Amino acid sequence: MLILMFQVLSTDVNASLVNGMSQFKGSLRVDSDMHNNEQKTLVSVIVPSRQEVAYIGNCLKALIRQTYGLENLEIIVVDGMSADGTREIIAEYARLHKEIKLFDNKLKTTPIAMNIGIKQAKGTYIARVDAHTKPSDNFIEQCVKVINSTDAEVVGGPIETIGEGFWGKQIAYVLSSVFGVGQSFRTMDSCSGYVDTLAFGLYKREVLEKAGPHDEKLTRGQDWDINQRIIANGGRIYLDSSIRSVWYCANNPIKFIIKSFLDGYWIAAIFEKRSFRHLAPFFYLLSFVGLALVCYWRRHGLGPWRYVYFPFWSYALLYVMVAFFYSLGMAKRTGWHAVIVGPFLYASFHFSRGLGTLYGLLSGMWLKY
């Protein structure tokens, strides 16, 4: 029950190449009058990508429109050999804008993409912006302003999660609620302060060099890992509400559950470094496994276990009530159907993520990394 309360407090797009290209033709070049020609500190923006035909165009367009000035940026796109038309879109943007450079990532994982990008980067500051993301027009400008006005070595902001279609909107709400993910950069919409991690941050170059390369064995969770190494070296991470970006979530419940399981599985790889909120789904799963065992023992009259029968059922009822309560908030935004699908999505998210962590621990993931 305490674990649950801590958690409360603390598309799939199948676009074809033709559709992907037609979405962006005619709008690839951005008017240079939009930018401030003042010479500023160079910022290298690394964009890991793979099979992002539906999103890469909007991501690059948002980076080109940065109020910081395109001439003060180098945009390094490291693509994992995409075969869906993503590379063609990147190449066309790079042809029109010399600030955009395309590099190959033959091993196709994000940490390798980041290491390739950092090696190629020339900027004083290095930012990460995933291809599935659309930063605000003043994203880089605000990052530089905040990092120069605080004693932080890494800065970033809250992320607005957006989904498309019926399921996408429901999933986006789950990933944006305190009950879903706890207090994090996904839910701290109007707050600013020092945090233990964030996504899509701007880093001082020397801080990344001191922390060392991204762990290429970590297919997921590499951003958390690098941020924890920075903190261990005495660095500070600052989340500022003026730094805004949008992240597009899965629009399919099956893929949402699979991703949650895989995220949980990789949590086990760096289990000892994780904060409690990341482990809450794991403990939630253990609690319900315990509930099932207690019910079995109670049914067979195994003595002292009958005294914990009621507390476990109370825990289960509390979870259902809280899930239903948050689903009411979801219903106000997405329709009355959320009252039905909301509890299912919350439970599926927590259960699959917790199951992934359990499987990772049992398979010895924590011994390999």
Predicted local distance difference test score (pLDDT) of residue 8: 41
Split into its structural domains, the chain has a count of: 2
Predicted local distance difference test score (pLDDT) of residue 329: 81
**Are 129 and 246 within one domain?**
yes
**Are 79 and 155 within one domain?**
yes
**Are 289 and 158 within one domain?**
no
**Are 243 and 337 within one domain?**
no
**Are 111 and 218 within one domain?**
yes
Distance CA(49)–CA(79), nearest Å, equals: 5
| Residue 336 located in a structural domain | yes
Mean pLDDT in consecutive groups of 10 residues from the start of the chain, 369 residues = 41 35 46 55 97 96 97 97 96 96 96 96 97 96 96 94 91 88 64 89 96 90 89 94 93 93 84 62 76 64 55 74 86 82 91 89 72
**Are 118 and 27 within one domain?**
yes
| Residue 54 located in a structural domain | yes
Pick the last residue of a domain from 251, 277, 310: 251
List own/partner pairs for 178-181 with CB under 8 A and 24 or more apart: 178/8, 178/9, 178/10, 179/7, 179/8, 179/322, 179/323, 179/326, 179/346, 180/326, 180/346, 180/349, 181/277
Distance CA(29)–CA(46), nearest Å, equals: 20
Rounded to 5 degrees, φ, ψ at 44 are -95, 125
| Residue 1 located in a structural domain | no
User: pTM for the full model?
Assistant: 0.81
**Are 113 and 17 within one domain?**
yes
| Residue 137 located in a structural domain | yes
| Residue 8 located in a structural domain | no
DSSP per residue over 155-187, as a string? EE--EEEE--HHHHHHHHHHTTSHHHH-SSTTT
**Are 205 and 350 within one domain?**
no
Pick the last residue of a domain from 251, 281, 314: 251
| Residue 27 located in a structural domain | yes
**Are 260 and 218 within one domain?**
no
**Are 199 and 293 within one domain?**
no
**Are 150 and 71 within one domain?**
yes
Pick the last residue of a domain from 251, 286, 302: 251
**CATH number, domain at 244?**
3.90.550.10
Predicted local distance difference test score (pLDDT) of residue 14: 34
Predicted local distance difference test score (pLDDT) of residue 110: 95
Domain that holds residue 259: 255-368
| Residue 6 located in a structural domain | no
| Residue 5 located in a structural domain | no
